[in-house]
A and B are shown apart, each in its own frame.
Chain A
Amino acid sequence: DQQVKQNSPSLSVQEGRISILNCDYTNSMFDYFLWYKKYPAEGPTFLISISSIKDKNEDGRFTVFLNKSAKHLSLHIVPSQPGDSAVYFCAAKNFGNEKLTFGTGTRLTIIP
């Protein structure tokens, strides 16, 4: 039972354009969401998070949007840079629960 889904295994975007990565979840108990970026041979690196009381959170070039009614979140990267090429994981948890539930990841490739 995949409670967090990233339906696009890969995405290619030209440098300087917007990258939009999508994530859907099925568990309505999730109330905190995170995005991690992973380079080969490294562990996932935390990027940005959002709690269910918000619908948007920004940090520099990264913005996460949450649509609770659709159980959907997205990560926007503007402008996209070559160093953004990595695998991006969406993760979710319940407040006060230790467990992070991850999606299967989206490989983002930024084309120079």
Chain B
Amino acid sequence: ETGVTQSPTHLIKTRGQQVTLRCSSQSGHNTVSWYQQALGQGPQFIFQYYREEENGRGNFPPRFSGLQFPNYSSELNVNALELDDSALYLCASSSGGALYTDTQYFGPGTRLTVL
């Protein structure tokens, strides 16, 4: 059974650019959540996808968007990058969607640096 994987590991972009981060969920999981972890902080919830539909969103602007594919992998897209977007982006997968108290399993993260 493979765990949650994310790509790329590291990424450097400049202000105003756009970025796409990718996540493959753990086998058997149909729900993917994305979190942003700034330096010295805990992860902050961005949004969740359940069976290809957005299933909840945190306090992030619309330039943060996502997709989930039929194989339950997911993308996080960030447009018009700002310096404050520099962070570790974590993807977590789980099963059962929002109706269940279900453990989220995290990938290793993508470190995004915006210059």
A100, B108: Cβ atoms closer than 8 Å: no
Q: Is B109 an interface residue (CB 8 A)?
A: yes
CB interface residues, A 68-112, toward B, < 8 Å: 89, 91, 93, 95-105
Binary interface encoding of chain A residues 35-74 relative to chain B, with 1 for a CB under 8 A from any of its CBs, else 0: 0100001111110010100000000000000000000000
Taking Cβ atoms with an 8 Å cutoff, the residues of A that contact B are 4, 6, 32, 34, 36, 41-46, 49, 51, 89, 91, 93, 95-105
Question: What separation, in Å, do the CA atoms of A98 and B107 have in the docked complex?
Answer: 17
Q: How many residues of B contact A (CB 8 A)?
A: 30
User: Per a CB cutoff under 8 Å, which of B4, B42, B58 touches A89?
Assistant: B42
**A45→B108 CA distance, assembly (Å):** 10
Chain B residues with CB below 8 A from A43, complex form: 4, 6, 90, 92, 106-109
Say yes or no: A41-B108 contact (C-beta < 8 A), given A93-B101, A95-B101: yes
Instruction: Check B44 against A102 for contact (C-beta < 8 Å).
Output: yes
Given contacts A98-B48, A98-B55, contact A44 B101 (CB under 8 A): no
Q: Which residue from B40, B45, B99 sits with its C-beta under 8 Å from A104? A: B40
Give bound CA distance, A98 to B48, whole Å. 7
Query: B97 to chain A: which residues have CB within 8 Å?
Result: 98
Q: Which of A45, A95, A103 contacts B42 (CB 8 A)?
A: A103
Which partner residue on chain A sits nearest B57 by CB separation? Answer: A99
With a cutoff of 8 Å between Cβ atoms, the chain A residues found around residue B8 in the complex are none
B103 close to A46 (CB less than 8 A): yes
Q: Are B98 and A98 neighbours in the complex by a CB distance under 8 Å? A: yes
Q: State the Cβ distance, A49 to closest chain B Cβ, in Å.
A: 7
Residues B73-108 near A (CB distance < 8 A) = 90, 92, 97-101, 103-108
- Docked Cα-Cα span, A49 to B100, in Å, equals 14
Which chain B positions have C-beta within 8 A of A6?
42
